[in-house]
């Protein structure tokens, strides 16, 4: 696979992740809050059973393509073995895990209603829906932010303009602050959708820049090669001028 082809596939992964995230938030529409009467929640689940299962799939699989984009950027930047790359890998694993937990509770709420398990349905719905609880949503905010180490990766490479690295790091730092504030303030928690929207816009812009930006002089393979070092060997490095032994002997040595 050529470098440009890899860039295109990685960019498409980011676009797909954002598209699935948007669809997840829109399907189904007009979800009742966790403070709604139990009868209203039960009727909503019964009327939108298929849509709820579909959004569970979007929540479970969508973040996988999202983190594929992030890991692809790490690879193209030659940072798979650097600390920022390791943290990006860890944050990606946490995001996928939390997404699957969210999807599991969504499926549990839908299936529990249809099978008459009212308590299970109530608890599952309460854990994934706000504004009162949504514990899983709050955990997403206090999880390691993906864009913070990804910004460090970009700032340590020439893969994209440096503005992308600075904005990614800023979004990551904002996520940490907002995650703490959301534990104590409903207003802060409601602002999370603004941050998610801004981060999604960043991913789309970064995906476009990844495709149209010129290929850096040092790609992933070049970044993984060690720099030449002076070992004191008489063997010349490629492109250097070999000194003839007779000339070396003829040169006076300056010693103190």
Tell me what pLDDT residue 122 has.
Answer: 86
What domain range is 30 assigned to? 3-215
**Average of per-residue pLDDT across 105-129:** 90
Examine residue 222 and state whether it is found in any structural domain, yes or no.
no
Would you list the DSSP string of 12-73?
HHHHHHHHHHHHHHHSSSSPPPTTS-HHHHHHHHHHTHHHHHHHHHHHHHHHHHHHHHHHHH
Examine residue 252 and state whether it is found in any structural domain, yes or no.
no
How large a percentage of the chain has pLDDT more than 90?
Answer: 59
Tell me what pLDDT residue 34 has.
Answer: 79
Q: Which residues contact 233 (CB under 8 A, 6 or more apart)?
A: none
Find the distance separating the first CA and the last CA of the chain, reported in whole Å: 58
Tell me what pLDDT residue 246 has.
Answer: 43
Q: Which of 127, 126, 150, 182 is nearest to 66 (CA)?
A: 150
Is a pLDDT exceeding 50 seen at residue 94? yes
Examine residue 25 and state whether it is found in any structural domain, yes or no.
yes
Quick: pLDDT tens for 30-44: 888 878 888 888 899
CA atoms within 13 A on the CB side of 256: 0
Examine residue 108 and state whether it is found in any structural domain, yes or no.
yes
Tell me what pLDDT residue 237 has.
Answer: 43
Q: How many domains does the chain have?
A: 1
Is a pLDDT exceeding 80 seen at residue 51? yes
Is a pLDDT exceeding 60 seen at residue 29? yes
Examine residue 204 and state whether it is found in any structural domain, yes or no.
yes
Examine residue 220 and state whether it is found in any structural domain, yes or no.
no
Examine residue 224 and state whether it is found in any structural domain, yes or no.
no
* 100 or 190, higher pLDDT: 100
pLDDT band for 248, please (50, 70, 90 cuts): very low
Task: Enter the pTM of the model.
Answer: 0.79
Tell me what pLDDT residue 216 has.
Answer: 54
Examine residue 225 and state whether it is found in any structural domain, yes or no.
no
User: Token pair for residue 44?
Assistant: 């909503």
Radius of gyration of the chain (CA): 26
Tell me what pLDDT residue 30 has.
Answer: 86
Tell me what pLDDT residue 251 has.
Answer: 44
Quick: pLDDT tens for 169-228: 999 999 999 999 999 988 888 889 899 999 999 999 999 999 997 765 444 544 444 334
Tell me what pLDDT residue 215 has.
Answer: 65
Contact between residue 178 and residue 188 where contact means Cβ atoms under 8 Å apart: yes
**Average of per-residue pLDDT across 93-107:** 95
How large a percentage of the chain has pLDDT more than 70?
Answer: 83
Is a pLDDT exceeding 60 seen at residue 81? yes
Q: Which residues contact 72 (CB under 8 A, 6 or more apart)?
A: 6, 9, 10, 13
pLDDT band for 131, please (50, 70, 90 cuts): confident
């Amino acid at each position: 696979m050529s470098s440009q082809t890899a860039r295109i596939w990685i960019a498409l992964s980011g676009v797909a992740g954002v598209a699935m995230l948007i669809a997840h938030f829109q399907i189904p529409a007009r979800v009742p809050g966790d403070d709604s009467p139990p009868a209203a929640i039960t009727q909503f689940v019964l009327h939108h059973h298929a849509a709820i299962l579909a959004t569970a799939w979007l929540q479970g699989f969508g973040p996988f393509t999202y983190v594929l984009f992030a890991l692809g950027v790490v690879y193209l930047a030659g940072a798979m073995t650097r600390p920022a790359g390791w943290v990006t890998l860890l944050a990606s694993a946490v995001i996928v895990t939390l997404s699957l937990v969210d999807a599991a509770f969504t499926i549990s709420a839908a299936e529990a209603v249809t099978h008459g398990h009212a308590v299970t349905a109530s608890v599952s719905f309460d854990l994934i829906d706000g504004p009162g609880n949504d514990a899983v949503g709050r955990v997403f905010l206090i999880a390691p932010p993906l864009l913070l180490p990804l910004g460090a990766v970009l700032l340590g490479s020439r893969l994209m303009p440096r503005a992308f690295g600075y904005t990614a790091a800023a979004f990551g730092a904002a996520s940490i602050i907002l995650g703490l504030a959301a534990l104590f303030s409903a207003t802060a928690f409601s602002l999370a959708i603004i941050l998610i929207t801004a981060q999604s816009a960043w991913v789309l812009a970064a995906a476009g820049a990844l495709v149209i930006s010129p290929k850096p002089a040092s790609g992933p393979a070049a970044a993984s090669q060690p720099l030449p070092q002076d070992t004191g060997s008489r063997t010349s490095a490629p492109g250097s001028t070999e000194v003839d032994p007779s000339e070396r002997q003829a040169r006076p040595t300056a010693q103190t």
